[in-house]
Structure 1
Amino acid sequence: MNRRIALKHLALVTGGMALIPSCDFSSNDIISAYEKLQITVSEKDLLGSISNTIIPAGEIKGALDIEVPDFILVMVNDCMNAEQQQKFLTGLRAFPQYVKTQTGSAFSKLSDNGREEIIKEGLKAEEVENDATKFFLNTAKRLTIQGYMASEYIQTEVIPYSLIPGTYDGAVLISDIQKPRING
């Protein structure tokens, strides 16, 4: 191999290595799946943390495990008018500042009990400045519960869904029933 070419390549690699630490590869691009919402990845992660605080994982999967934040964003994108969408986004973007004002730290740094308390306080807030935050939290809570209960996981594994009522058997003891059935 030619020594000049090797030195040129070595200089290019060394220069590139010197520039890499100054580059910011953490892009916070707008997610394109939701046409009407201008939502970023970090905002979606915050919504995931909030929904996981509302329904955490335990013996069964939590809201984040069955991708409830995607359900929330689809419902807001498709089922709300422009004014409600804007109010939801305003509340979502104001929530980190609300948490910082109330607790002095970021939502992600709070303990599980601290997260629960700040969400409860936000739902009860009477202040006018927190109107968008309160709307956001109420909507997120309602859609988290709706998305969780309507998920395939809940409907097939936790509470089996039966489209039509089963057969009638009047001589069954309650203690013999294994799983509750939801009849549609």
Structure 2
Amino acid sequence: MLRRNALKKAILLAGTISIAPDLLAKALADPAPILDQFPPIQLDLLTEMVDTIIPTTDSPGAKTAGVQDFIVLAVEACFSAQQRNQFWAALNEAEQACQKQMGKGFVECNDAQRIHFLHSLEDAPAPVSEPQFFQVLKELTLHGYFTSEIGATKALNYDPIPGVWIPDLPIDGNTKAWTPMF
């Protein structure tokens, strides 16, 4: 039963993002009006959350790729008014929960505290009728990162003109994935 609800929520999220690609394209073409109206405190919180999900390692992280801006634009351009309100309210609730649990806000926490808190968000039960906040945030982060130039060229092995198929291509620990599906 829980698996069925999780699948419904994932399909709902994927459908929401895929329904309005033209709206997202317009928002991404001129992000200034939306980003200028967004509260800087919330943007800082979102920035640190996405950077904790995909930190800088041997490839640039989500913060460097500007994933936080993508999420703001995707939520504002593609989500319904109710979904937008739920997402931003859940972000604020997450910050309040972090202050209760850690004694300080997410931005002020160190890396270990941030990871611990995000794990607690991921493990928290969500109402059956709506997707879990952390799952939505994580999916938007992954989508934003791997469709960005940095994610596609630095984290993945971008090949603008695929060559021939090599059935016995040697793969070792340094081989990058070709797409975010692997």
Q: 1:109 maps to which residue?
A: 108
Larger Cα-atom Rg:
1
The offset of 1:78, in angstroms, is: 1.2
Distance 1:137 1:39, change over 3 A: farther
Q: 1:74 maps to which residue?
A: 73
Q: 2:33 maps to which residue?
A: 33
Between the aligned partners of 2:175 and 2:93, the Cα distance in structure 1 is 46
Which 4+ stretches in 1 moved above 6 angstroms?
none
How is 1:1-184 mapped onto 2 (pairs within 5 angstroms)?
33-34=33-34, 39-126=38-125, 135-162=132-159, 165-169=162-166, 173-174=170-171, 180-182=177-179
Between the aligned partners of 1:120 and 1:33, the Cα distance in structure 2 is 34
Whichever residue aligns with residue 145 of structure 1, its letter is L
Whichever residue aligns with residue 51 of structure 2, its letter is N
Structure 1 window deviating more from structure 2 (105-114 vs 39-48): it is 105-114
Structure 1 window deviating more from structure 2 (66-75 vs 151-160): it is 151-160
Greater RCO (Cα-Cα under 8 Å, separation 6 or more): 2
Unmatched runs of 5 consecutive residues or more in structure 2: 1-30
Whichever residue aligns with residue 59 of structure 2, its letter is I
Between the aligned partners of 1:72 and 1:121, the Cα distance in structure 2 is 22
Tell me the number of residue pairs that the alignment of Structure 1 and Structure 2 aligns: 149
Structure 1 residue matching 2:55: 3-state secondary structure: coil
Distance 1:180 1:43, change over 3 A: closer
Between the aligned partners of 1:169 and 1:141, the Cα distance in structure 2 is 33
Unmatched runs of 5 consecutive residues or more in structure 1: 1-30
The offset of 1:163, in angstroms, is: 5.2
Structure 2 residue matching 1:160: 3-state secondary structure: coil
Structure 1 window deviating more from structure 2 (164-173 vs 47-56): it is 164-173
Distance 1:169 1:48, change over 3 A: closer
**8 Å contact 2:126–2:132 — kept in the other structure?**
no
Q: Deviations over 1:17-69 (max 9, x none)?
A: xxxxxxxxxxxxxx96228x963011001100000011111111010011100
TM-score by length of 1: 0.67
Whichever residue aligns with residue 34 of structure 1, its letter is I
Between the aligned partners of 2:151 and 2:62, the Cα distance in structure 1 is 11
Whichever residue aligns with residue 45 of structure 2, its letter is L
Between the aligned partners of 2:126 and 2:135, the Cα distance in structure 1 is 15
**8 Å contact 2:156–2:177 — kept in the other structure?**
yes
Structure 2 residue matching 1:87: 3-state secondary structure: helix
